[in-house]
Structure 1
Amino acid sequence: MMVLVVSVFVMVCADNILLLIASWTISNILLARLMLHKHQWKAARQSSVLALKNFTIGFVFLGAALIILYCLTGETSIQAILIRPIAFKWGVLCSVLILLAAMSQSAIWPFHRWLTSSLNSPTPVSAIMHAGLVNGGGFLLARFAPMLAAEPIILNVIFITGIATALLGTLWKLMQSDVKRMLACSTMGQMGFMIAQCGLGLFPAAVAHLCWHGLFKAYLFLASGSAAKEKRLDLDYPPSLKDFLKALFCGLLAAYMFSITSGKHIMVADTTLFLIFLSMIAGAQFALAIIRGHGKAKLLKAIAATLFMGAFYGLNVKIIELILAPLHISVPQPLNVFHFIAATLLLVAWMVMLFMRTNLKHPYPKWLLYGYVKMLNASQPHPKTVTANRNEYQF
């Protein structure tokens, strides 16, 4: 485990392409080895093999990109490579290869199956996997941000891929019946949001996301054993219109506080506005959990909590921007139709989650049942990684 942690630190700090690919490979091999904690357990063995196959694909993509960049520039330093001019076609090719490597590492659709099939791993291994190595895709995109940002079409592809994965992973999470599978789908959704932030050109925000997601998800995995005993929180959905408007007001305050502390203008006409919009939704959803019921004290508590949340998030993004300023990786992009479509989809999905409730007296339409079953089946792990009979588990 210690060797794995050291190799991850080397990967994050590496400026030499040979050191980067070596530490990237060693980290993934060690992770696959940790997943194979019981050689006699067939399902665990298949989980490790599936992950290793996926990591091999990512290694090929990343290795090809680095070889091409070395041949074009003659440099082994990543910083030196990024300041050298590269022809458009080669820049696009290398950007696509790096994107594919990042997608395979961070379980972005359609490279997600290895993550949803990794649940045979011991819980501490799952914690370090979801808190650390699965974030490698976001780190890789941030490392090569200047090259990716030079081609707006690449950023659009990154954004669309990230949003699609975020929506898919979040939807799959709501369908799961066990804790670890739910957390795996949640990680897939969060990685989608992180990649989408890279597609917005807001790479420091993506780095902030991967840091806090890592800490939070590690805690959730390590505490997953007590999930069956915890008290369930009934949010009493759908909320009343009055409570929703209160929460929306709190969300606007959170977004405003985020814009102040992060130094981003709230009326800016670039992709920063999309991030502020997400802060508003997050703040409103957070406030809803506090406002339940009536009382002025609850509203004041929700206002204070959302103001703190917005300020905390904004300061995190600002601090990371300052730390990474020499790398020039904050490159907000002009808003386009893809951003407005994504914002609309997120808003509609949020409204459906809050206000759409089923009537048990009326059956579901067949097309909805068909879609549910298809989505549920698509979210399942690889059949070979499932222990269907307890006798197949070797103690």
Structure 2
Amino acid sequence: MAGHTSKRTVGALPDTTAESPFVPVALTWLAWVLFAASVAALAVRVLFGGDWAIPGVVAVDGLTVLMWVVVTFFSGIVHSYSRRYVAGTAHETRFFVLVFGFTVTVMGLVAADHLALFGLLWLSMGLLMAKLIGLARGWRQARAAARVARRHFAASSGLLAVALAALWWETGATTVSGIAAAADTPGGSVWLVAAGALVLAAMIQSALIPFHTWLLSSMTAPTPASALMHAGFVNAGGILLTRFAPVVTVDSALMLAVVAVGGASAIGGKLLKSVRTDIKAKLGCSTVGQMGFMIMQVGLGFFGAAITHLILHGFYKAYQFLSSGERVEHTAPDGGTGATIGRVASVGGVVVTLLTGLAGGALFAVLTGKGLRVDSGLLLTFFVAFTTLHAARDAVQQTSLPAAARYAAVPVAFLPAIVVYAVVYEGVSALLTVEPVSTELTVLHVVIAAVFVGIYVGIETGVHENSRRLYVALLNAGQPSSDTVMTATEEYNEY
């Protein structure tokens, strides 16, 4: 507070170049070496094509090398950032070992072809993340958060095991590629059970509603681990459904259900975020919503869009977590009771926002060919336009520039961004072996879109803030597990 002084209780920030333990230094360098090797593998794949495999064990395709680049980049950033963040703590070496082990496990997962290896690595990935969540063993809430996470990840692994066993029973194939090859002649109820189990496993891993509790309870994790979790771990649901795309797309009713649960989490995450006040919890609720969008794109049959979304969201969320300390403002409450969601105040702002959103959707449709026919591609383009509109609305509300300058800058900034997004989407889609599966646009698709827009408009106009019952319901739904909540600073003990 202004006018107050406090005794300095900590020394200077540690020098990570001096007297640093060998393991953190070695693993940080090794993480960046893996990134460089992954970039080289991606370049070779793009220039020369072809897949590499150890038959029956691993298969390295376009999705594999792309995920290698993304995962190792995030891992390198987290390793480098953590050299100072955890320097001098009792769990410094263990933290780096866990992060590096998680990185290698995910790299193995996206390359695994044998069903047993895939399932084992999926389970290992969850257990390593649970250890990172409960890293501070002396902190009771951290241990409780780790238990919550382990229960969810064990359930996800159990569902995956059911799906893999059912697919093996139905096809006789012991590899992911073998199951994909057998998908031309899918079975009946057993195949549908496997597809449903895959979707549920992905929902748990990606923290979709109603399985979001583990993510909101994970705030005991060190911030770099949270960055890795929100930028990489939760994306595993999208990777799982993409890897088993031939299974998921076998039933149109199931795909419609995937669109519905994805849309529910997308709007639910936004609602939960509106009642949270702490930065990391807001980011957690945002992740719930963004993972909903990713799963919804899977349900529409556009796996390239889902992978593109998880990559771009990963970059954004990693930055948000690693810079979260800068967002905490030490200011006194001003006594205001304004709405939690901003609003476009002027007619000019509304017009610019709407036109930018429509132009963004039209530009995406022209560049990608999606939305030019009456199928699920139309809904994909609609959500692109909707996202552009939302981002433009936020930009128009900024008051640091005159209104005329803001209105002129919005389309100039956002339309080129749509071009970049479309190019990235096309590039990612070209790397994937799975083709987009455009489904027939049904009345239920339209209903889902209409409900989504209706709820969104209600949030933006503040209608939801007039109901105390809804506020309490959202506050309760967004609460972490009670055992993970710290009620007094004296309860914290990282040792």
TM-score (normalised: structure 2) = 0.74
Q: Structure 1 residues 226 and 101, CA, compared in 2 at 3 Å: closer, same or farther?
A: same
Does 2:309 match 1:209?
Answer: yes
CA offsets per residue over residues 149-183 of structure 1, 9 Å max, x none? 11101101111111111111110011101001111
Contact kept? 2:341, 2:460, Cα under 8 Å: no
1:56 alignment partner, one of 135, 139, 154: 154
Aligned to 1:44: 142
Aligned to 1:137: 237
- Name the SS of the counterpart of 1:119 in structure 2: helix
**Mapping of 1:1-395 within 5 angstroms?**
1-84=99-182, 85-229=185-329, 237-264=343-370, 266-292=371-397, 296-324=404-432, 326-328=433-435, 330-356=436-462, 368-395=467-494
Q: Identity of aligned pairs, percent? A: 33
Aligned partners of 1:392 and 1:332: how far apart in 2?
53
Contact kept? 1:260, 1:314, Cα under 8 Å: no
Amino acid at match of 1:26: S
Q: Structure 1 residues 138 and 229, CA, compared in 2 at 3 Å: closer, same or farther?
A: same
Aligned partners of 1:149 and 1:190: how far apart in 2?
22
Q: Structure 1 residues 9 and 251, CA, compared in 2 at 3 Å: closer, same or farther?
A: same
Aligned partners of 1:216 and 1:257: how far apart in 2?
23
Amino acid at match of 2:176: I
Cα drift, residue 341 of structure 1: 1.7
CA offsets per residue over residues 9-39 of structure 1, 9 Å max, x none? 1111222212211211111111111112121
Contact kept? 2:106, 2:121, Cα under 8 Å: yes
Aligned partners of 1:166 and 1:284: how far apart in 2?
16
Cα drift, residue 236 of structure 1: 6.7
Aligned to 1:361: none
Contact kept? 1:116, 1:380, Cα under 8 Å: yes
Aligned partners of 1:94 and 1:357: how far apart in 2?
41
Q: Structure 1 residues 167 and 295, CA, compared in 2 at 3 Å: closer, same or farther?
A: closer
Aligned partners of 1:379 and 1:356: how far apart in 2?
19
Aligned to 2:81: none
Aligned partners of 2:193 and 2:379: how far apart in 1?
28
Contact kept? 2:249, 2:437, Cα under 8 Å: yes
CA offsets per residue over residues 253-297 of structure 1, 9 Å max, x none? 111221122232x43101111111112122222223444576554
Aligned partners of 2:330 and 2:431: how far apart in 1?
39
Aligned partners of 2:145 and 2:407: how far apart in 1?
47
Contact kept? 2:235, 2:310, Cα under 8 Å: yes
- Name the SS of the counterpart of 1:327 in structure 2: coil
Aligned partners of 1:41 and 1:341: how far apart in 2?
47
- Name the SS of the counterpart of 2:328 in structure 1: helix
Contact kept? 2:227, 2:322, Cα under 8 Å: yes
Aligned partners of 2:376 and 2:176: how far apart in 1?
26
Q: Structure 1 residues 116 and 154, CA, compared in 2 at 3 Å: closer, same or farther?
A: same
Aligned partners of 2:341 and 2:483: how far apart in 1?
38
When Rg is computed on C-alpha atoms for both structures, the one with the higher figure is: 2
Aligned partners of 1:383 and 1:236: how far apart in 2?
31
Aligned partners of 1:31 and 1:170: how far apart in 2?
25
CA offsets per residue over residues 47-91 of structure 1, 9 Å max, x none? 001100111111111011111211222212212112212311111
Q: Structure 1 residues 32 and 279, CA, compared in 2 at 3 Å: closer, same or farther?
A: same
Aligned partners of 1:384 and 1:188: how far apart in 2?
21
- Name the SS of the counterpart of 1:191 in structure 2: helix
Aligned to 2:65: none
Amino acid at match of 2:200: L
Cα drift, residue 142 of structure 1: 0.9
Amino acid at match of 1:250: T
Contact kept? 1:255, 1:276, Cα under 8 Å: yes
Q: Structure 1 residues 230 and 354, CA, compared in 2 at 3 Å: closer, same or farther?
A: farther
Question: Which range is displaced more, 348-357 or 106-115?
Answer: 348-357
Q: Structure 1 residues 306 and 101, CA, compared in 2 at 3 Å: closer, same or farther?
A: same
CA offsets per residue over residues 318-346 of structure 1, 9 Å max, x none? 1111111x323x10111112221222123
Q: Count the aligned residue pairs.
A: 383
Amino acid at match of 1:316: V
Aligned partners of 2:287 and 2:342: how far apart in 1?
26
Aligned partners of 1:279 and 1:319: how far apart in 2?
17
Q: Structure 1 residues 298 and 108, CA, compared in 2 at 3 Å: closer, same or farther?
A: closer
- Name the SS of the counterpart of 2:218 in structure 1: coil
Contact kept? 1:102, 1:140, Cα under 8 Å: yes
Cα drift, residue 356 of structure 1: 4.1
Amino acid at match of 2:485: V
Aligned partners of 1:117 and 1:187: how far apart in 2?
13
